[in-house]
Amino acid sequence: MRLLGIESSCDETAASVVEDGRRVLSSVIASQVLEHRKFGGVVPEIASRRHAEAIVGVVQQALDDAGTNIKELDAIAVTAAPGLIGALLVGVNFAKGLSFASGVPLVPVHHLRSHVAANYLTSASLAPPFLCLVVSGGHTHIVHVTDYTEFRVLGCTRDDAAGEAFDKAARAMGLPYPGGVFLDKEAELGNPDAFSLPHPSVDGAPFDFSFSGLKTAVINLIHNAAQKGDELPRADLAASFRRAVVDCLVRNVTAAMRETKERRLVIAGGVSANSLLRRELERICGENGWEFYRPELSLCGDNAAMVASQGYYEFQAGRRAGLDLNALATMDIQLDFEA
């Protein structure tokens, strides 16, 4: 069974053809990173316009690379939520038009569910149930995946997401966009014990996160030093901040693993590429006899292969969409589009 996946939730226009939810036949991504870098972050209006300009060529290239055409597809999967509303609408409306013109069924896909599915493309043996730490620029969740289309949120951030905290701290340190990537590289050169930073927790909610205070603490350090004319060792500060964020993530997901008694831990989302997070979770899993799964680095960021993979399982579960499908800026990962 072949599905075309379409992704346009933020600043990557992507299309991919995936077979049986596991085998990537093509994956094409048109990135806008360099254009948004001069603004220090994604400008939604620019992102939407670039999606509209790129989507026809990206989809055609994905079909050509896979050696297939629309008529040979079994379904079209598209990211419909959550994300930047203007950007999402480009992908959703294009997918609806493609479905209407070809008669190929349309499958709506939740963006975070597709990040989880990136692991199915990397690890052929992985199947639910398992616990997943979803960490990205806009989301930080601990999710119990009980089946391919059944998700239960155990914990989430109360304020900033981990990726958002990384990006804002990186910008304060003078690192370019996307900050989290450059902060991770800088941190590899520094001493994580150089600065003492808070490790916030949420009273009465051991699986929830709070990164706003930690982000503010490092920004205040930078501003106070600047007011005195001092220059902080950036690599050490990056390493200390990264260590604090990762400590919080590992602490909570370890507690959730013990509570649920699951034996398989999965990570997903853009921050799953963070080198320290990968090392620490691998270490914790080794100490506890848990299986550890993480996506290939090329599948950590936004891509359409993960959309097609999750779309396959949504299609198998009977999920379909008509021409009344609308994009949603926010949506709980536990909800289905027909709910």
User: What is the residue-averaged pLDDT of the chain?
Assistant: 96
Residue 217's alpha-carbon distances to 143, 195, 224, in angstroms, are 28, 11, 11
**Each residue's pLDDT tens digit, 164-196:** 999 999 999 999 999 999 999 999 999 999 999
* This model's pTM is above 0.85: yes
**CATH match of 2-116+299-316 with 3.30.1490.100:** no
Q: Measure the CA–CA gap between 89 and 137, rounded to whole angstroms.
A: 20
Which residue, among 157, 159, 129, 158, has the nearest Cα to 144 in the 3D structure?
129
Taking each helix axis from N to C end, the angle separating 179-187 and 234-260, rounded to the nearest 10 degrees, works out to 100
State what percent of residues in the chain have pLDDT above 70: 100
**Each residue's pLDDT tens digit, 190-205:** 999 999 999 999 999 9
Q: Measure the CA–CA gap between 329 and 292, rounded to whole angstroms.
A: 31
**Each residue's pLDDT tens digit, 111-163:** 999 999 999 999 999 999 999 999 998 899 999 999 999 999 999 999 999 99
Q: Are the CB atoms for 268 and 257 separated by under 8 Å?
A: no
Which residue, among 83, 49, 113, 73, has the nearest Cα to 311 in the 3D structure?
113
Taking the domain 127-295, which CATH number applies? 3.30.420.40
- pLDDT at residue 338 in the model: 75
- pLDDT at residue 137 in the model: 85
Range(s) for CATH 3.30.420.40 in the chain?
2-116+299-316, 127-295
Three-class secondary structure of residue 115 per DSSP = helix
